[in-house]
Amino acid sequence: MALYEYKCSDCAEQFDLMRPMSAADEPAECPECGGAESRRLISSFASVTPGASAMNTNPMMDARIASGNAASRGGCCGGSCCG
């Protein structure tokens, strides 16, 4: 099950529905006006990460970052995405 965001074509109400991924593109009934013409929206989200002092750190990764090894190999994935 996933949470999807929809917008009603009749009244412009935005609403969320929890439904299986296989049903994501099926018509969704608007809870405001009962209209069946809605379209799925592309949802965005924000993530807030606490500072390093509030998190547990990984000593091995901290050492690699401090020595510059991660940067010399192209970053987090070995260079395939960042050059």
pLDDT of 40 reads 92
Q: Using the predicted structure, report yes or no on whether residue 64 has a pLDDT greater than 80.
A: no
Condensed to tens digits (0 to 9), the pLDDT of residues 68-82 reads 754 455 555 555 555
The reply to whether 32 falls in a domain is: yes
The domain in which residue 12 lies consists of: 2-40
Instruction: Write the CB contacts of 27 (distance below 8 Å, at least 6 apart in sequence).
Output: 36, 37, 38
What is the pTM (predicted TM-score) of this model?
0.51
The reply to whether 11 falls in a domain is: yes
Choice among 34-38, 40-44, 51-55 with the minimum mean pLDDT: 51-55
Among all chains, which residue has been given the structure tokens 């070995």? 78
Condensed to tens digits (0 to 9), the pLDDT of residues 7-21 reads 999 999 999 999 999
Give residue 55's pLDDT band: very low, low, confident or very high (50, 70, 90).
low
> What would the two tokens of residue 41 be?
């929206």
User: What own/partner pairs with CB < 8 Å and gap ≥ 24 does 27-34 have?
Assistant: 28/4, 30/6, 32/8, 33/8
The reply to whether 55 falls in a domain is: no
What is the DSSP-derived secondary structure letter of residue 39? E
Count of domains observed in the chain? 1
